[in-house]
Amino acid sequence: MSSIETLTVHGLGRVAEPYRDIVPPIHLASTFERAADGSYPGGRVYARDGSPAYIEAEEVLRQLEGGSQALLFASGHAAATAVLQALEAGDRVVAPQSMYWALRKWLLDRAEHGHIQLAFYDNADIDDLRRQLAAAPTRLLWIETPANPTWEITDIRTASTLAREHGAMTLVDSTVPTPVLSQPLALGADIVLHSATKYLNGHSDVVAGALATREDSPLWQRVRAMRNLGGAVLGPFEAWLLLRGMRTLHLRVRAACASALKLATELEAHPAIAQALYPGLASHPGHATAAAQMSGGFGGMLSIRVKGGEAAAREVAARVRVFKRATSLGSVESLIEHRASVEGPGTRCPDDLLRLSVGIEPVEDLLADLQQALQV
């Protein structure tokens, strides 16, 4: 494989005939002509089965993750639920306590209606994970690291080994670190998930999801079928925009990492901050594990807990001028939100927490913006 930098910039290195396009063309067709004998000489039947618009983006992602195959989906949630819907009825899933709130809610709903068995483990406690895996036969271990929005770290290699010993497959939600910083398949995971809306696209103009697999397993075949049968397919223009976004992935991620570390370091000592949550800080409980399994940075996401509780946190978010008050992460612009109010009833997020997605603006501007917002 080429370096990550060259792969993201050039993709597959193809130029399109007959005009020798440097930028890949968009394939808009929804259906494809059969030959007179009923065969498909173009190798395609119908776009929902697999559009040629996906070829390059899926292959770039496959190579970035070091997997055997990759699939695009209509959203990160669609990609996640396709894996869970591919399980057999009654299969047991062990998931982290801290994870994307909408998927946690969906898991609880599936368990309540008897579709799956569900157990949760403490993200940062391998002993707790060991106990949960040993408690009953498990089909799938779900890992999210760093975990949104409190950024706990799970040891992927150790967790994947434990899952394999108990007959379970491992999926890692690697949306935050991206392939630039983390390679879960090389650490023993079976499937990697991305909300491609976030860092992979990086411009807040696409909703997309993606999966990459270490091997073409029976579960993966069912996941592929779920995309087709469930219709969770990405549009061709969105696939093209995603590929466009990935061309600058390494630059955006590394810029965000450098700024996030600077902000976390400064904010940790700020008198208005009760706690800064960022795995790049030496004070973070998972710092050593993160350093061992992430290369080149600790991600562009951090959270701060504001002294004075929920009211004070909301006031800080109201006073920012550069940061945008919006949901999402991983784009070129920096975002801030009071996460507990976004997640609503049942949230596990502290009510004094503000989640920050660091973009690519000069860090001096971001720091000045937060400092003025934090003034009492």
Query: Is 67 within 8 Å of 223 (Cβ atoms)?
Result: no
Residue 13 CB contacts under 8 Å (≥ 6 apart), including other chains: none
Please identify which of the residues 62, 110, 139, 198 carries the catalytic annotation: 198
Residue 173 catalytic? yes
Query: Is 111 within 8 Å of 138 (Cβ atoms)?
Result: no
Residue 54 catalytic? no
Structure tokens at 140: 């799938």
Please identify which of the residues 104, 110, 121, 173 carries the catalytic annotation: 173
Query: Is 358 within 8 Å of 334 (Cβ atoms)?
Result: yes
Residue 40 catalytic? no
DSSP secondary structure letter of residue 18: T
d(CA 265, CA 263): 5
Residue 31, helix vs strand vs coil: strand
d(CA 140, CA 87): 9
Residue 155 catalytic? no
DSSP secondary structure letter of residue 303: E
Structure tokens at 365: 């501007």
d(CA 67, CA 83): 16
Q: Measured between alpha carbons, how far is residue 263 from residues 181, 187, 353 in Å? A: 19, 29, 16
Please identify which of the residues 100, 121, 199, 278 carries the catalytic annotation: 100
Output the CA torsion sign for 182, 185, 186, 188: positive
Instruction: Point out the residues that are catalytic.
Output: 48, 100, 173, 198
